[in-house]
């Protein structure tokens, strides 16, 4: 009995510790945990507000549709809330129309229920309805089972409550601390580039201090995992970019984020991961003493470690465009290229300890050259945060920016002689 209770207690303690960690993260500062907590609070508030409006103001007989719609449309960005509201309203209207059409044509029987539910389920799988497609068969069932499929008042009340709830959800999400997801993409991009830099540094240190097949396979796994995580980083960046659209907080205090640069950085790291994984795989095969690919000499690999160090230093400044950073990146890349030229010349002009090892020498040189070019090509268009400075403009500056943008638009229209070009503009 005790052997069963102990794991259960450990599981409970782990769950409680997880909750505590989440609460601490919410209270400490901005981040995904605080964003999620705020969204939950806003969803609950929007649902209660929609319910009260449906009961007190509209005096609806189907008031539960309003809070349900409000609860479901509050999302991580205002754009998604708006789209979710449209999807839900369309799904409810389609479901009601299907029920009305079947009821009027053939009446409500067991066999007509089968046909209409099959039709509703097929319509509900329409990808344009998203997650709210399930509302189509739900509305069909509710209308037919309540025998109100032919009630115009019931249909109108249901649609009105759904519309009311959707509007309340969108407005609450847009007005009450409108979501601005800036910290998560910033951390994701920075962590991605840091992982690449750390891997290159570890490989350089390992080649100098001693390495084996297990270490090389670990480097290969780490390089592969960097590439696997890139889609999640791109998704975080897209969520952050989307959170600034239709956002009043962004209009007042514009976000200082180069979203295209973040995307460029993620793609550049993804492309750089391939030659790094190739280097690690070549080292793993060489360390395994494969007869077809012996290991290069320790002295040559010690010099090759210097190349990886320069590449790691370039990766540390990758996508950073403050004063001097661009020059430092290019200096490290040029040093890596010069070292690779010397290593290639050594392989050509010096007899190898093991002539069978020439494929490993060649592969390591080629992959490193590819990495030099990937970092050089990606650096200019990439943007990587280098500090924890302000992400948004001060409030006064943001208001001035909005006013300035409007003034520029008015001037442009006046020059073109289009709408808004008269004195009243």
Residue in 368, 192, 317, 328 with CA at minimum distance from that of residue 267: 192
pLDDT at 397 over 90: no
How does residue 12 score in pLDDT terms, banded at 50, 70 and 90?
Answer: confident
Identify which has the larger pLDDT, 112 or 48.
48
Domain 184-379: top CATH class: mainly alpha
Q: How far apart are CA 70 and CA 9, in angstroms?
A: 38
Query: 26-30, 193-197, 246-250: lowest mean pLDDT where?
Result: 26-30
Percentage of the chain exceeding pLDDT 70: 84
The arithmetic mean of pLDDT across residues 401-405, rounded, is 43
- Which tokens sit at 318? 């990758």
Q: How far apart are CA 274 and CA 220, in angstroms?
A: 10
Q: How far apart are CA 289 and CA 107, in angstroms?
A: 78
pLDDT at 423 over 70: no
DSSP annotation of 71: H
The arithmetic mean of pLDDT across residues 226-249, rounded, is 93
pTM for this prediction: 0.78
Domain extents in the chain = 13-175, 184-379
Q: CA angle at residue 146 from 145 to 152, to 5 degrees?
A: 120
- The predicted pLDDT at position 400 comes to 41
pLDDT at 190 over 90: yes
How does residue 411 score in pLDDT terms, banded at 50, 70 and 90?
Answer: very low
Q: How far apart are CA 286 and CA 297, in angstroms?
A: 11
Tokens 């010397």, residue? 342
Average pLDDT score, the chain: 83
Q: How far apart are CA 250 and CA 405, in angstroms?
A: 14
- The predicted pLDDT at position 402 comes to 43
How far is the CA of 316 from the CAs of 192, 225, 280, in angstroms?
11, 19, 20
- Predicted confidence (pLDDT) per residue in 312-337, tens digit: 999 999 999 888 899 999 999 999 99
pLDDT at 386 over 50: yes
CB 152 within 8 A of CB 143: no
């Amino acid at each position: 009995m005790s052997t069963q209770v102990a794991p259960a207690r450990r599981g409970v303690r782990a769950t409680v510790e997880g909750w505590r960690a989440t609460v601490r993260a919410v209270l400490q500062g901005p981040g995904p945990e605080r964003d999620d907590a705020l969204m939950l609070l806003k969803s609950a508030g929007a649902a209660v507000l929609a319910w009260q409006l449906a009961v007190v103001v509209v005096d609806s007989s189907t008031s539960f549709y309003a809070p349900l719609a409000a609860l479901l449309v509050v999302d991580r960005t205002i754009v998604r809330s708006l789209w979710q509201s449209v999807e839900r309203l369309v799904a409810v209207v389609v479901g009601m129309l299907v029920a009305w059409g079947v009821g009027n044509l053939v009446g409500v029987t067991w066999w007509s229920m089968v046909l209409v539910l099959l039709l509703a389920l097929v319509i509900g799988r329409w990808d344009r309805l998203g997650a709210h497609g399930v509302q189509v068969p739900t509305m069909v069932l509710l209308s037919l089972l309540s025998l109100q499929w032919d009630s115009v008042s019931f249909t109108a009340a249901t649609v009105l409550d759904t519309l009311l709830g959707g509007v309340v959800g969108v407005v609450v999400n847009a007005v009450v601390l409108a979501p601005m997801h800036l910290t998560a993409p910033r951390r994701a991009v920075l962590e991605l580039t840091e992982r690449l830099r750390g891997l290159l540094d570890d490989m350089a240190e390992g080649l100098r201090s001693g390495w084996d097949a297990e270490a090389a396979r670990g480097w290969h796994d780490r390089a592969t995992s960097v590439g696997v995580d890139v889609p999640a980083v791109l998704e975080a960046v897209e969520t952050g970019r989307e959170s600034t659209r239709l956002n009043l907080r962004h209009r007042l205090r514009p976000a200082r984020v180069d979203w295209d640069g973040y995307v460029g950085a993620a793609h550049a790291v993804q492309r750089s991961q391939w030659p790094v994984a190739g280097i690690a795989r070549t080292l793993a095969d060489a360390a395994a003493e494969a007869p077809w690919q012996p290991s290069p000499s320790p002295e040559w690999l010690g010099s090759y470690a210097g190349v990886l160090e320069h590449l790691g230093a370039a990766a540390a400044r990758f996508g950073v465009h403050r004063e001097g950073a661009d020059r430092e990146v290019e200096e490290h890349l040029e040093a890596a290229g010069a070292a690779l030229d010397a290593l290639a010349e050594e392989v050509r002009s010096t007899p190898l300890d093991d002539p069978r090892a020439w494929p490993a020498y060649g592969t390591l040189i080629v992959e490193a050259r590819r990495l030099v070019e990937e970092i050089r090509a990606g650096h200019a268009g990439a943007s990587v945060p280098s500090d924890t400075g302000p992400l948004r403009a001060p409030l006064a500056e943001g208001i001035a920016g909005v006013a300035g943008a409007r003034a520029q638009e008015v001037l442009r229209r006046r020059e073109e002689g289009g709408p808004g070009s008269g004195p009243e503009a």
